[in-house]
Amino acid sequence: MARRGGFPGGGMGGGNMNNIMKQAMKMQKDMEKAQEELADKTVEAASGGGAVKVIATCGKEIRQIEISQDVVDPDDVEMLQDLVLAAVNEALRKADEETQATMSKYTGGLGNMPGLF
């Protein structure tokens, strides 16, 4: 007797297709909720031994920049610019890492694809 191919239950998955769709919809809702929470979650970075501190959200919004008076030198504005730039870039890198770590819980590693989140 020949064995029939396909999924148990007949058709293209039978009753399992409804379960798969429900799981996909739940996963989508969970991911949307996680993205909303990440938009407000903050990360902090510093440069110059803490002379410049930046607080950013995982939604990549800079919330706060603190600059110590010790690094404000009118004769060396370029150094201050470099410190601010380094702290901002580090905060955004941390925000990306936090986003990837959180979303990979839902995507099973697909979150490593550039531009996905």
Distance, CA of 107 to CA of 35 (rounded, Å) = 13
Joined together, the tokens standing for residue 98 give 């936090």
Q: Is the dihedral of CA 83, 88, 94, 96 positive or negative?
A: negative
pLDDT score, position 102 = 87
Domain with 73 in it: 34-103
Provide the residue type at 114 as one letter: P
pLDDT score, position 90 = 98
> What is the number of structural domains in the chain?
1
Please name the residue that has the structure tokens 């990549």.
60
Residue 68 lies in a domain: yes
Residue 80 lies in a domain: yes
pLDDT score, position 37 = 86
Residue 79 lies in a domain: yes
Distance, CA of 7 to CA of 2 (rounded, Å) = 15
pLDDT score, position 5 = 53
Residue 7 lies in a domain: no
Full-model pTM: 0.70
Chunk the chain into consecutive blocks of 10 residues (it has 117) and report each block's average pLDDT, rounded to whole numbers.
53 73 86 88 97 96 97 95 98 95 77 53
**Which CATH number is 93's domain given?**
3.30.1310.10
Provide the residue type at 9 as one letter: G
Q: In what order do the strands lie in the sheet with 52-57?
A: 42-47, 52-57, 62-67
Residue 29 lies in a domain: no
Residue 20 lies in a domain: no
Residue 110 lies in a domain: no
pLDDT score, position 108 = 73
